[in-house]
Amino acid sequence: MRRDSSAPLAFGIIAVVVALIALLIYTQEDRYNWNPSFQQDGVNPYDLSLFKKTVAASYLPANFHEIKNLYSDSTFLELQNGLVVSIDPYFEIDSIEISKLLETARNGNQVFISTIKPAKMLEALRPSCVTENFNSANEKRAKTILPSVNGEEKSPGISYMIREDKERFAWTYFDFENCPDEEFEILGSFEAIGENYTNFVKFDYGDGAIYLHTTPLIFTNFHFKNKDVFAHSQNIFDLIPHQKMFYLDPEYSEPDYSKKPPVSESPLRFILSNPPLKWAWYLIIALTIIYVFNAVRRSQKSIPVFTLPENETANYLDVVSRLYQKEGNHKHIIGIQEKLLKRHLRNKYRLHFNNPDQGFYIDAAQRLQMTPEYLKQTLVMLERAKNNSTLSDEEFKNIIDQIKEFYQKCP
């Protein structure tokens, strides 16, 4: 049995395709991470360096401070009319850090938190709403939203983009319908698929206030450079009275394993979020399926070779012709040869020699690529020979040779 060489060929094709796609990806001049990483000093589309630098430049050096650690940095607790800003989509801080944020609000400062996970702050502000029976924060999946604050026109369209493609994104919004009434104020919302959803609220706390915002994508590099989004962000902070800003940018001495990474940073989501890698992945799967399918087909039980029965007609005719020839009855052999010739012309060329006329000979000669005279002469010769009982051996041999020559001239 021949050795199957399709496996090395299939793997070779896959390796070449993957190598070409990888080369295409890594030879591009600009490569960005399109995952929502939200790094404070990162330069990828969904990092926050542009917002952070712009905010820092908007204040005098004495009025802008960075908070690197809520445990050791306690300056903001002693001030009045200050603003603590946290742009952290996952907001994984402990109860002690939350208590410090609440303490600075109680002392007369403002705290602005933009996160898609506001549950911990809601537990501190409205604990009765964050239970098994109530959920104050829900998600709306959509490709584009139109946010607004304080009744402004919904102009800046915000989308989760990967290069030039819009992807569905889980936009968090507040839902206080089933919660007990508390003192809070709705400051902003967004429109998604024709419906409005609350995404910016204010809670009075002590002498200050807590502002919760659920759309941190607005402050990322990709969107913040848009002048409409910039104006929208400015309107947000214009609603918060303050003189100094404390920007929360915590530093970690070791990896913070409690901070949940975005789901989109998983290997498969990363592959599917990059079109070249996505198509390479689909191509590998398709080639693998084709290879497995062919391998299964080849490994099936082989079908035994069926040998057709040998055609004994020619041997039979040869024996009969020898008997006739031995008896000297050549006309019977010529009759058999004539029948075989006409059957051959009928089966292969659809020529039926029943009462042929001159027009038939002309048409048949065109199909057989010979002259009408030669065709007619051959058939007339056979007709006469099969009725001639006195054919000599020499005449018989000449007729047989002419029949063989006729077969060779047929196309």
Check pLDDT > 50 for residue 242: yes
Enter the tokens of residue 356.
């042929």
- pLDDT tens-place string over residues 141-173: 999 999 999 777 766 889 998 878 888 999 999
DSSP code of 156?
-
* Cβ–Cβ < 8 Å for 320, 336: yes
Element (DSSP H or E) covering residue 114: strand 110-114
- Residue 370 is predicted with a pLDDT of 85
For domain 35-273, say whether CATH 3.40.50 is its number: yes
Check pLDDT > 80 for residue 297: no
- pLDDT tens-place string over residues 166-201: 889 999 999 888 777 677 889 999 999 889 999 999
Q: Where are the domains of the chain?
A: 35-273, 315-409
142 strand-pairing partners: 169
- pLDDT tens-place string over residues 13-55: 677 777 766 666 555 545 678 888 888 888 899 999 999 999 9
pTM as predicted: 0.57
The CA distance from 287 to 310, in Å, is 44
Model confidence at 112, in pLDDT bands (50, 70, 90)? very high
Provide the residue count of the chain: 411
Model confidence at 320, in pLDDT bands (50, 70, 90)? low
- pLDDT tens-place string over residues 329-355: 677 777 888 888 888 888 888 888 777
- Residue 256 is predicted with a pLDDT of 45
DSSP code of 41?
T
